[in-house]
């Protein structure tokens, strides 16, 4: 894979000739709807063969392995090398890609959810069904999810039950507070969870409790211990979703009850929700600015094993009205919607190097100005380079129903996806 940023005067024919690939392969890889219209600043994924290194004079396998951040054993195994000390100048070596685990949250059931898993399945290790909710009595809110679980299994994807403190259309601090203070209700809930997981074929539990009161921090830790013991005793994995903290004593309802060291100790892995800096109720900003993501990782890796961390990645963008006014709400946009709006209004796409994120501004037919931040091939590549640099377990997407076509070829150009 290469990434080409469209310049003034570029056409698909020129780009295809420059990279010696077909126009059709570029169109298909990037889901281009009108091959005659490109946007200045648009990033295009250019499909190329897998990495091959041609040995130069003086090179050793140790040097080549360091160059590509893989092990000597990986290269030996990939190329069936008999004697690692004997490689020849001009020899072509296939460079193996690192293996990571990839999770995606799914919010759709039925035929829509099945279709989403049908085409995203090859790129996933897990999918998290969002969501089952806790109740004050210890019952599970029901979900008609049998068909999506079946589809996931047919695509080699491990299904995880996602448990939340959702009430209506938002997370409830009061609901989870009452739940965490009642051990009897927790035990009943865990029994219902285990029975449902066995019945439906789930293989792990993902707990996503958000906006937990700071006073409930230790109660949350105690529940997590009970849940981990129960899951492991029944052969299930357990994971949690954590707010993006940059220090242990970070203030705020979203952060204080999330005890990184305890979650890192008790769970099989955690999902760091490293997105939503540009949130719907706030001013325009990148959804996952890479400098902010790195601040979270800098803290997280000091208290959670790196091989337990899935870095959160958004598959969506947002469109704000500007000048921004407190109380206004941005609309969520997919990658394709963002590209269509840039095309519709004939505006170039810009790229913020600090945030490693694309954005553009336009004025609609009513005269209202807008600012759009989203993700593209360049921003995804920056995130995957970060996963490699920090040596993380993998990635987790919010959310699979928000289409982001360029992400998948960028993902597979950087990694092989673990299947359990």
Annotated catalytic residues are: 210
Rounded to an integer, what distance in angstroms lies between the CA atom of residue 179 and that of residue 174? 9
Name the residue among 138, 270, 112 with its Cα closest to residue 204: 270
DSSP 3-state assignment of 127?
Answer: strand
Rounded to an integer, what distance in angstroms lies between the CA atom of residue 175 and that of residue 160? 23
Rounded to an integer, what distance in angstroms lies between the CA atom of residue 273 and that of residue 128? 14
CA distances from 264 to 228, 244, 275, 310, 367 (A): 12, 14, 20, 12, 50
Name the residue among 169, 255, 171, 164 with its Cα closest to residue 216: 255
Rounded to an integer, what distance in angstroms lies between the CA atom of residue 398 and that of residue 206? 14
Helices 72-79/61-68 angle, 10° precision: 100
Q: Which long-range contacts (CB under 8 A, 24 or more apart) does 55-61 make?
A: 55/87, 55/88, 55/89, 55/90, 55/91, 55/92, 55/93, 56/89, 57/89, 59/87, 60/87, 61/85, 61/87
DSSP 321-380: EES--TT--PEEE-HHHHHHHHHHHT-PPEEETTTTEEEEEEE-TTS-EEEEE---HHHH
The DSSP bridge partners found for residue 159 are 127
Q: Which residues, 6+ apart, have CB-to-CB distance to 63 below 8 Å? A: none
Residue 20 burial class via C-beta count within 10 angstroms: exposed 0-12, middle 13-18, buried 19 and up: exposed
């Amino acid at each position: 894979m290469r990434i080409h940023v469209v310049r003034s005067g570029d056409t698909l024919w020129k780009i295809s000739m420059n990279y010696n690939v077909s126009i059709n392969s570029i169109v298909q890889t990037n889901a281009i709807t009108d091959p005659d219209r490109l946007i200045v600043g648009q990033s295009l994924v250019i499909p190329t063969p897998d990495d091959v290194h041609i040995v130069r004079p003086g090179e050793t396998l140790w040097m080549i392995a360091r160059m590509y951040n893989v092990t000597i054993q990986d290269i030996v195994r990939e190329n069936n090398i008999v004697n690692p000390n004997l490689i020849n100048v001009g020899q072509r070596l296939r460079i193996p890609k690192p293996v990571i685990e990839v999770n995606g949250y799914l919010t759709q059931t039925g035929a829509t959810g099945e279709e989403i898993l049908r085409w995203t399945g090859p790129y996933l290790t897990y999918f998290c069904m969002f969501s089952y909710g806790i109740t004050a009595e210890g019952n599970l809110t029901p979900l008609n999810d049998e068909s999506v679980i079946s589809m996931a299994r047919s695509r080699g994807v491990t299904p995880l039950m996602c448990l939340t403190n959702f009430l209506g259309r938002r997370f409830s601090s009061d609901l989870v507070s009452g739940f965490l203070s009642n051990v009897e209700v927790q035990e009943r809930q865990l029994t219902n969870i285990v029975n449902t997981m066995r019945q439906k074929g789930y293989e792990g539990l993902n707990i996503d409790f958000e906006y937990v009161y700071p006073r409930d921090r230790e109660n949350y830790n105690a529940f997590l211990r009970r849940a981990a013991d129960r899951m492991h005793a029944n052969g299930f994995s357990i994971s949690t979703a954590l707010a993006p903290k940059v220090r242990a004593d970070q203030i705020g309802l979203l952060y204080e009850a999330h005890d990184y060291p305890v979650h890192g100790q008790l769970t099989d892995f955690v999902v760091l929700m490293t997105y939503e800096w540009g949130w719907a109720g706030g001013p325009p900003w990148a959804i996952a600015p890479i400098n902010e993501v790195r601040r979270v990782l800098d803290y997280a890796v000091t208290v959670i094993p790196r091989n337990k961390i899935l870095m959160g990645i958004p598959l969506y963008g947002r469109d704000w009205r500007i000048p921004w006014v407190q109380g206004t709400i941005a609309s969520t946009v997919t990658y394709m919607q963002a590209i269509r709006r840039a095309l519709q209004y004939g505006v170039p796409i810009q790229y913020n190097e600090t945030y490693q994120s694309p954005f553009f501004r336009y004025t609609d037919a009513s005269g209202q100005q807008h600012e759009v931040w989203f993700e593209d091939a360049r921003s995804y590549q920056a995130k995957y380079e970060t996963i490699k640099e920090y040596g993380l377990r993998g990635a987790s997407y919010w959310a699979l129903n928000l289409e982001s076509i360029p992400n998948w070829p960028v993902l597979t150009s950087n990694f092989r996806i673990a299947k359990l």
